[in-house]
Amino acid sequence: MNVELRHLRALTAIGDEGTITGAAAVLHISQPALSRTLEQLESRVGVRLVERTTRRLALTDAGQRLYERAQLILHQVDDALAEAVAGVRPLRVGFAWAALGERTVPVLRAWREAHPGTPIEVHRRADPEAALRRGEIDAALLRADPDPGAGLAVQPLYRERRLAALPDSDPLAAEPVVRLGDLVERPMVLCATAPTTTAGLWPDERRPRTFEVSNVDEWLTAIAMGDAVGVTAEATGHSHPHPGVRYVPLTDAPPVTVLLAWPRTPTHPATPALITHLRRMAEGVPGRE
């Protein structure tokens, strides 16, 4: 098809920016030049990739599929060029909100001692699974199974208990433990980046009223202000302490499994060593699956 990297860069810029104006500015080319590049790409692949309206562009289904693959390809090309000059780059590990909780720093320190020539970079991403598909990170710590069609391999590491996150003024905050039923009459705030908590934790006939916020900071603020309570995995209590929020163990909620996910074709040569490192760490964690 004679598709060039400039074609893929044009498509990814359009997908990121949503307009020809914005994409052209990112690429430092003129709008007519970008439009011609897009037309060349569509002609060479033989399908429409972008739907054009008077104000905005939207990727078609085919455009979205190529956009995701193009991001991965371009990241791999950039990495290869950088490694040719500077050597192997750091191993990039992503997470949504809590990484490994209190285990995060000990695990990273042990890695540094065992693999001094391969540093790890830890990246917080709203959607680590999508970041893996785009090649932005090499592995991700997840607390929900990835899409079966995402092309990812998965290793369960260990299980962690769930906690209720309560305003410090709530009477339940003084209890040593709580049950899911204790929370039914209170509004429940859900975090869009934390798929481990849904109304499905409660029976159909007795569920709390829920509303969603976009990130962990908004989630914590809603709880601290007394607008809602939350349910989360144990690592959150360590990674996100808050003066207005008390974390209390839930006695009847199922545990959350912490997973390591990576592309089936690894994007970093140290990925197998990372898998082994985290498996060994998990062997000493109570509740490991």
Per-position DSSP letters for 20-40, written without gaps between them: HHHHHHHHTS-HHHHHHHHHH
Hey, what are 31's tokens? 């709008």
Comparing CA positions, the residue from 265, 257, 254 lying closest to residue 141 is 257
88 pLDDT band, cuts 50/70/90, is confident
Task: Give the pairing of strands 245-249 and 230-233.
Answer: unpaired
Is residue 124 predicted with pLDDT exceeding 60?
yes
- pTM as predicted: 0.75
User: Which DSSP helix (H) or strand (E) runs through 64?
Assistant: helix 61-86
Comparing CA positions, the residue from 246, 241, 225 lying closest to residue 168 is 246
The amino acid at residue 279 is R
What number is the average pLDDT over the span 231-260? 96
Task: Give the pairing of strands 152-160 and 139-142.
Answer: unpaired
Question: Looking at domain 5-84, does it have CATH number 3.30.360.10?
Answer: no
Query: What percentage of residues in the chain have a pLDDT greater than 90?
Result: 70
Average model confidence (pLDDT) across the chain: 91
Hey, what are 262's tokens? 């990576």
Contact of 151 with 261, CB cutoff 8 Å: no
Q: Where does CATH 1.10.10.10 sit in the chain?
A: 5-84
176/249 Cα distance (integer angstroms) = 7
Is residue 22 predicted with pLDDT exceeding 50?
yes
What Rg do the C-alpha atoms of the chain give, in angstroms?
22
Fold of 162-249: D-Maltodextrin-Binding Protein; domain 2 (3.40.190)
Q: Where does CATH 3.40.190.10 sit in the chain?
A: 88-155+258-283, 162-249
288 pLDDT band, cuts 50/70/90, is very low
Distances from the Cα of 103 to the Cαs of 53, 107, 275, in angstroms?
A: 49, 6, 16
- The 3-state secondary structure of 210-279 reads EEEECCHHHHHHHHHCCCCEEEEEHHHHHHCCCCCEEEEEECCCCCEEEEEEEECCCCCCCHHHHHHHHH
What number is the average pLDDT over the span 226-250? 96
Give the pLDDT score at 56. 74
* CATH hierarchy code of domain 88-155+258-283: 3.40.190.10
| Per-range mean pLDDT, top range of 44-58, 59-73, 172-186 | 172-186
Is residue 91 predicted with pLDDT exceeding 60?
yes
